[in-house]
Amino acid sequence: MKEVISNIKKSLRDGDGGDGYSARKLSALSIMLCVIFAHLEWLEHCFVTEDFSLLTTVLAIDYGFIATLLGLTTYSKMKGDETNKPKKDGEQ
């Protein structure tokens, strides 16, 4: 368990080799934890009231959000690959 926690801490480190943590990674982690907590509270409410009428809506919103984030990441990766390509002789 200590190794897992150590690996998580290492993954949150800044990529520049510094001693600090990446603000982007920490904010993403905190948002993910809040979303997980909200979903668990909502599911608890659904089980108590036995009302799952909004389950498909919530899952559709989750899927759309995740698909958007993955699409943005893929787009930025593709755009970054285009700008980092070495130029051929005679190209500007």
Residue type, 76: S
Give phi and psi for 21, each to the nearest 5: -105, 155
> How far is residue 92's CA from residue 88's CA, in Å, rounded to a whole number?
8
The structural domains of the chain, with segments of one domain joined by +, span 1-51, 53-83
Mean pLDDT of 65-76: 79
- Of the candidates 30, 35, 52, which has an alpha carbon nearest to the alpha carbon of residue 43? 52
**pLDDT given at position 87:** 60
Q: What is the pTM of this model?
A: 0.58
- Of the candidates 27, 35, 40, which has an alpha carbon nearest to the alpha carbon of residue 61? 35
Contact yes or no for 46/52 (Cβ under 8 A)? yes
Span 2-32, pLDDT tens digits: 898 888 888 877 766 667 777 777 888 888 8
3-class SS of residue 14 = coil
